[in-house]
A and B are shown apart, each in its own frame.
Chain A
Amino acid sequence: MNNELIKITGLRKSYGNNEVLKGIDVSIAEEEVVVVIGPSGGGKSTFLRCINYLEVPTAGEIVFDGMALDGKANINEVRKEIGMVFQRFNLFPHMTVMENLTLAPMKVRGASKDEAVAKAELYLRKVGLLNKADAYPDSLSGGQQQRVAIARALCMNPKAMLFDEPTSALDPEMIKEVLDVMKDLADGGMTMVVVTHEMGFAREVGDRVLFLDQGVIEEEAEPQEFFSHPKSERAKLFLSKIL
């Protein structure tokens, strides 16, 4: 087992009287790929968004790489190290692909323009979109936009990547190109937390599955084990519906 990178203890999140996360404890090691699955409304996205404090937890502690998040003082420090990919891509529409990729490294990391461009070219090549550097996001397909979004996050040299249903907004024929990029990343040793409905990806790429339902981790297992021998009734019910 590698070193622990993310440690989450007693994580709770409520919106008014509605408690979405009801005490989550999980530890994620370096280079581990954790896939979070479960029914809609079970708290998967909220869980993911708490890890980099896009949602501020109601209770509990998140420690990233030895740094305890407190929501104020060091939140930008921690976010530099955690890349995030959204369901709706969230590229900056008023900037070219290249500008999307170089903005944060220059403004946050203080990289020079040449450094930022070199790195952007490296990752654009990696996701197969170097020829789109000067294009605006709106001129790209959904799959291409999501690959740009992944490259944008990678340009910050993050220690971990969070994926929030990265293929849910894509047309079916574009899902594979995005999953392939994610698989490459996983093979390259990136620590990843992935919320997804792609069970094939979970089974093939995941090191561990978290089954999140009604705000708790109902089951936690290696993918093969989870998909072939789910233990909890709710996991069995969920898998019977989708497989």
Chain B
Amino acid sequence: MDFEIIKSALPLLVAGAGVTVEITALSVGFGMAIGIVISLIRLTGIKVLRVLGDIYVDFLRGTPLLVQIFLVYFALPGLIHHQVDAFFAAIFACSINSGAYVAEIFRGGIESIDKGQMEAGRSLGMTWWQTMRYIILPQAFKRIIPPLGNEFIAMLKDSSLVSVIGFEELTRRGQLIIARTYASFEIWLSVAFIYLIMTFAVARFVGLLERRYKKYEQ
């Protein structure tokens, strides 16, 4: 094992890890916005919206993220007659993918709240949306922290797939360094180790949040 190679590659890899965190945070962030909208429209009584929400979730959870990245990067430009850059494609594909998973997480969280809460809110004259916003969602948020943390960890790892469209996050950086140095073993081991540090840190952070919110749980 050549530690000198690792040492000299490390700054590049760490910068790549920063990019990985960036696309993960952006994708899960947009994914949360998409997810909450999708989960709410699936909970409304309006059938057309519900079906559209179901199709969205089924399609994005039922197809590989890699294929979705190809669709956005290679197929979409043909449709809109405009080149799509790698950064946009990476964020876009990961966000819509994450949105589908987050929608399911939100739905589970919302449905786990006792029906009596909605009834109590409505019986006080609050609208469905007011009750959602002030009563149901704040309680649901606390319950979905753990699965949301898992989604973040999953996206941290799955974002390595955007390396195939040449987007320079951690995995792609590793590939590029190996192309130059042929130090396959050292670099892939380092890349793996950096991913491990990141997922471990996120898992610990989520555990911390979980314990802090425990006190209001019944």
Contacts and interface: CB of A to CB of B under 8 A. Distances in A.
Given A103-B134, A107-B130, A138-B218, A92 B124 contact: no
A103 B123 CA distance: 13
Contacts of A77: 125
Contacts of A119: none
A6 interface: no
A58 interface: no
A136 B216 contact: yes
B112 interface: no
Contacts of B120: 84, 86, 90-92
B126 A107 contact: yes
B123 A82 contact: yes
Contacts of B123: 52, 54, 79, 82-84, 153
Interface string A129-158: 000000010100000000000001100100
A119 to B, nearest CB: 13
A79 B116 contact: no
B119 A54 contact: yes
Given A90-B119, A103-B134, A108 B216 contact: no
- Most A CB atoms within 10 A — which of B117, B123, B126? B123
Interface stretch (B53-61, B135-143, B191-199): B135-143
Contacts of B217: 93
B127 interface: yes
B126 A108 contact: yes
B119 A156 contact: no
Interface string A68-81: 00000000110110
B119 A104 contact: no
Contacts, number: 66
Interface in A42-94: 52, 54, 76-77, 79-80, 82-84, 86, 88, 90-94
Contacts of A156: 124-125
Contacts of A79: 122-125
A85 to B, nearest CB: 9
B4 interface: no
B124 A153 contact: yes
The number of chain B residues touching the other chain, given as a range, is 20 to 34
Nearest to A79: B125
Contacts of A86: 116, 119-120
Contacts of B139: 92-94
Contact of A93 (B124, B125, B218): B218
Contact of B125 (A54, A80, A90, A92): A80
Contact of A90 (B114, B127, B134, B218): B114
Contacts of A92: 117, 120-121, 135, 139
B124 A108 contact: yes
A76 B216 contact: no
B126 A76 contact: yes
Contact of B134 (A84, A107, A136): A107
Closest 8 CB pairs of A and B: A80-B125, A90-B120, A104-B124, A90-B116, A84-B123, A108-B125, A79-B125, A76-B125
9 contacts: A54-B119, A54-B122, A79-B122, A79-B123, A90-B116, A92-B139, A108-B125, A108-B126, A153-B124
Interface of A: 52, 54, 76-77, 79-80, 82-84, 86, 88, 90-94, 103-104, 107-108, 136, 138, 152-153, 156
Given A104-B124, A104-B125, A152-B124, 19 more contacts: A52-B123, A54-B119, A76-B126, A79-B124, A82-B123, A84-B123, A86-B120, A90-B114, A90-B120, A92-B117, A92-B120, A92-B121, A92-B139, A94-B142, A103-B124, A103-B134, A104-B126, A107-B134, A153-B124
